Structure 1
Amino acid sequence: INSGNRDIFLAKALPSGIWEWGARVSGTQSESGSQLALDPCGNVFLTGLYSSSPVSFFSRIDEGDLSGDFQFSLINPNPVELSSTDIFLAKAFPSGIWEWGARISGMAFETSSRIIVDSCGSAYLTGIYVSTTLSFFNGISEGDPGSSNLEFSLINSGDSDVFLAKALPSGIWEWGSRVAGVDNDRVRQLAISPCGAVYLTGTYESNPISFFPGIRNGDPGIVEQQFSLPNTDTDMENSDIFLAKATPDGVWDWGARVAGAEVENVPQFAVDPCGTVYLTGTYTSDQVSFYPGRRTGDPVQVDPQFSLTDFGSFGTNVNENIFLAKALSSGHWEWGARVSAEDAFFPMVSLDPCGAVYLTGS
């Protein structure tokens, strides 16, 4: 059943194609699921947005059951008039029973974009937020009150900032970090290597964009940045691409950039077992340059390792080219290649077990 405007369902099908169970997340307003991931034990981590207060989690619904058993609710402390949505992160057992639900709250807009789970069952969540303060509340289980404990908060540096946070298997937030500047900064993809290193890519219009280490319960909300990346377009009207690596403890190892005078966009990557990153995206600049990973204490301005040029003009349109580049786990670029056309869109990259790279787009 539906409780209001738009609800969320989570369902499991057997290999035979028979539905085993369905669960739901519902309230009187609109809720939407963003992404899900599984841990090695088959537990499901689901993230999404909700505007209801409260939003309720109902466990597995079997044949003949329309509603399921209520387990717990999460509040949204902000009035509906503000059109405020909060983020939830919830964990369900393979049986369809919800174990816990946690929330991330602000007074304006925030959204979760990507979630991954490591081999120990910890979840890494990333997204963007424009709220002045973004607060992380620990997970609650059946029988707990709807208002959970505040673990820590992140501040905002300007327009939309990027957050990256780690939740333990128990639903406790371990740390939260941010990638921030005075303009629009966005995240596109998140991945983890077999060694536990976390890789993040996105676009930024800020000049510079700064990387702040993870904070924990009891830490001050304002911490010093580890390093910054400049934007090639000093007018902050066009976006550059960042690629960054963080440790499982929330400390940034390095941040690299792909930059040109025009727009670089839609980055997407694949990571091999050695932590090598294959990054793809698009660019409209006459020349796009690849700058090596910067660490704490490194100079802001460094020379690019190499550049790719535009193939040339196709009629009167602005060309959108696709690039594919390989970055080592140290943050240094090994090579870059390009696909040129009048318009090239939506590249995606994948790896096979032998290390061959496959690129597609339109």
Structure 2
Amino acid sequence: MQANPHYVVRDDWLAKAREEIIAPEQPILDAHHHLWVRPQGRYAAAELQKDVSCGHDVRASIYVQCRTGYKTDVEPALQPVGEVETILAWCRNQPNYPAAIIAFADLQLGSGVRRVLDPLIQTGDGKVRGIRNTTAYHAHPAVRSNPNPPPDGLLRSETFLAGAKALAAYGLNLDVWAYHTQLGEVLALAAAVPDLTVVIDHCGGPLGVGPYRPADPEVFGEWCKSIVQLAELSNTRIKIGGFGLTVLGYRYADAPIPPQSEQLAFDWSPYFAHCLESFGPQRTMFESNFPVDKGQFSYGTLWNAFKRLASDLSPEERDDLFWRTAARSYGLDERIFTNDRGRTMS
């Protein structure tokens, strides 16, 4: 196992910057977060609840696997069932946080992954809506976003493809975290399984470390081309977020005070604009990626930045980005988000 690749969360540092909540009436579905108790910090049900209660109208969330609470008394293939058990136990008093779970099942099992999907679904009490594997790979040692990086080639393997086809048969989504250098592999996979919904995490990972510079025009151009190609497939979706990941190259954590939402919106605007233009609001969703991104900015500031980015859109388009796309992609009850409607963003 390698060292933790994420910025450490410093609550005292985050407290140095405060700003008013923008458009507190906008319903939000946080489409991507994690929960864990690790040596580098705790982010479990209480910590999540504190963040979603910061003033934004966050009505539900989606948990994404991160190796929390694995079983230790069963064979390795079935150990991830413990993650679903753990998250449900932690969050039993706050049923919409999370309202859905993206679990782990090793797609390298091929069609044999079905024997893992069945207990995951049974344990999940209706909340398991998708699967994610560890697939973000780059040969350069500086490009690491996981303490246990995967081997090269998972997204290209025939067994992974067979596992993806099994997901489609079960009506489950596939979340994919891949760097921009791997988006061609994601494209081939999504094209090969057209009845599988493929959700691309963290804007498709435009790299800014190692051999890549943050916001490098060449990287941006390569990323833009790949995003357009992926968006041409009707079974793809994209999550906007993950800008606090070390591999994207932003270093807000190095500053004496945290960034304000104006700065974040300015920095992220080119990526937001291209994702929105390529996928459209009905296939694009916002994510927090907390607590990974919490080392670089607060929850309140993050959603203020997203609201600034979306401020010129229509109310319907904003609802798509803030909740409707994610709710429909993961099969959540839209009534969670449509109560007390009729108000607009200020």
TM over 0.5, yes or no?
A: no
Which one has the largest radius of gyration? 1
TM norm structure 1 = 0.24
Bigger share in strand: 1
TM-score, scaled relative to structure 2: 0.25
Higher helix share: 2
